[in-house]
């Protein structure tokens, strides 16, 4: 019987995973903790590893002689040692579009909350202060510019939603490809200096880690907002804290952090110009069911000797 090691999860039940794997004659083993030592011990008997946020390191890969596939329960792949998998001919999969609607909706919701100062007013009124003037000035959304850093599935889903509000869209990708969106493609410097809102949708790689630092914040408008629903490691949080404290930018909305969970007592996260949500953008009942089922089915495809649907290496 094939054994599938589940490193960690963000949902209460394992009914979908158990159902899909049992139908293929496979058994699910859940790790009691997602640390490297524990995963190395359990990986010795694993034919597949499914990971949500835990790190599948080179050591974990090396400790799994029977390993046939590693599956990411999500989109980003920065927590999987892909080079080691590729060197051993182990296919790595993910679920690239399971939460496209949810994350683009969340990013747009954060934009609205920042622009209309909804979170600010909510916080103040809950403290007993009913004062419109505390949140002024407010600016009309229509005609302002939204800059998208990255144009993956989520960013492309955000484009028509933002346009419906009358926002003008700028975008930056390393390739300059607009993927048929009709967005005005600009350099990163132009996007930073021209945008009223910047929404980050780039993958986390060695090249993009802390791509938003002191230099980038200095190029932004003092009235601009930063929105990040992608990966926390893309932002230098110390530089962001400094930029907001010095009024270099107007504020930020963050759903992802480095590390996670973040230390909510830090001044950055206590500042009322910063909206914080607990890596919640991807979640809906529908997105979780789609992702969980799709990932388990891809593991089964590998067990059957088939090419998995969302193969990210060995192409």
Give me Rg for the CA atoms of the chain.
21
Report the distance separating Cα 95 and Cα 72, nearest Å.
7
For position 113, what pLDDT does the model report? Answer: 98
Residue 261 sits in the same domain as residue 133: yes
Q: What pLDDT does 40 receive?
A: 98
Between the CA atoms of 276, 207, 236 and 115, what dihedral angle is there, to the nearest 10 degrees? -40
Q: Which residues pair with 93 in a beta bridge?
A: 71, 311
93 and 106 belong to one structural domain: no
Q: How many domains does the chain have?
A: 2
Cis peptide bond upstream of 265, omega within 30: no
Distance of CA 221 to the CA centre of its chain: 25
Q: Would 309 be classed as within a structural domain? A: no
Give a yes or no: residue 256 inside a domain. Answer: yes
209 and 216 Cβ atoms separated by less than 8 Å: no
Judgement on whether residues 125 and 271 belong to the same structural domain of the protein: yes
In a shared domain, residues 125 and 136: yes
Is 231 catalytic? The answer is: yes
Co-location of 53 and 169 in the same domain? no
Whether residue 75 is contained in a domain is answered as yes
Same-domain status, 243 and 113: yes
- What 3-state class would DSSP assign to 109? helix
Cα–Cα nearest to 58, from 73, 36, 89: 36
Across the chain, which has 315 residues, the per-10-residue mean pLDDT values are: 96 97 97 97 98 97 98 96 98 97 98 98 97 96 98 97 98 96 98 98 96 98 98 98 98 97 97 97 97 98 97 93
Instruction: Specify the pLDDT at position 315.
Output: 80
Q: How far apart are CA 140 and CA 223, in angstroms?
A: 13
Query: Which one of the listed residues 41, 45, 129, 260 is annotated catalytic?
Result: 260
- Tell whether 229 and 291 lie within a shared domain: no
Cα–Cα distance for residue pair 75/52, rounded to 1 Å: 10
Q: Which of 124, 163, 209, 279 is catalytic?
A: 279
Same domain, 70 and 46: yes
Same domain, 159 and 298: no
Among this protein's residues, is 292 annotated catalytic? no
Examine residue 198 and state whether it is found in any structural domain, yes or no. yes
Assess whether 17 and 138 both reside in one domain: no
Selected catalytic residue, list 9, 106, 231, 273: 231
- The verdict on 13 and 70 lying in the same domain is yes
CATH of the domain at 50: 3.40.50.720
Both 147 and 91 in a single domain? no
Where in the sequence is the domain holding 6, given as residue range(s)?
Answer: 2-98+284-303
Q: What is the pLDDT of residue 282?
A: 96
């Amino acid at each position: 019987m094939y054994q599938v090691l589940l490193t960690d999860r963000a949902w209460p039940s394992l009914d979908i995973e158990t159902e899909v794997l049992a139908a293929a004659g496979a058994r699910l083993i859940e790790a009691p903790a997602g640390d490297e030592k524990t995963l190395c011990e359990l990986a010795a008997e694993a034919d597949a590893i499914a990971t949500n946020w835990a790190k599948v390191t080179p050591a974990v890969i090396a400790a799994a002689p029977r390993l046939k596939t590693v599956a990411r329960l999500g989109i980003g792949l920065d927590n999987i040692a892909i080079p080691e998998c590729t060197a051993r001919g182990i296919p790595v999969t993910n679920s690239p579009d399971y939460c496209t609607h949810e994350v683009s909706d969340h990013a747009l919701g954060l934009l609205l909350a920042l622009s209309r100062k909804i979170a600010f007013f909510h916080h103040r009124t809950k403290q007993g202060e009913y004062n419109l003037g505390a949140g002024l000035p407010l600016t009309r959304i229509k005609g302002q510019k939204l800059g998208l850093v990255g144009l993956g599935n989520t960013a492309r889903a955000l484009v028509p939603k933002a346009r419906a509000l009358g926002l003008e869209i700028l975008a930056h990708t390393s390739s300059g490809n607009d993927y048929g969106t009709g967005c005005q493609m600009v350099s990163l410097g132009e996007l930073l200096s021209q945008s009223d809102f910047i929404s980050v949708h780039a993958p986390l790689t060695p090249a993009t880690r802390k791509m938003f630092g002191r230099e980038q914040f200095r190029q932004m408008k003092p009235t601009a907002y930063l929105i990040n629903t992608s990966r926390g490691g893309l932002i230098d949080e110390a530089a962001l804290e400094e930029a907001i404290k010095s009024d270099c930018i107007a504020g930020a909305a963050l759903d992802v952090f480095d590390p996670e969970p973040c230390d909510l007592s830090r001044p950055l996260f206590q500042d009322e110009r910063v909206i914080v949500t607990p890596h919640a953008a991807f979640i809906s009942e529908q997105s979780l069911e789609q992702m969980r089922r799709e990932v388990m089915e891809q593991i089964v495809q590998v067990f059957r000797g088939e090419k998995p649907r969302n193969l990210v290496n060995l192409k």
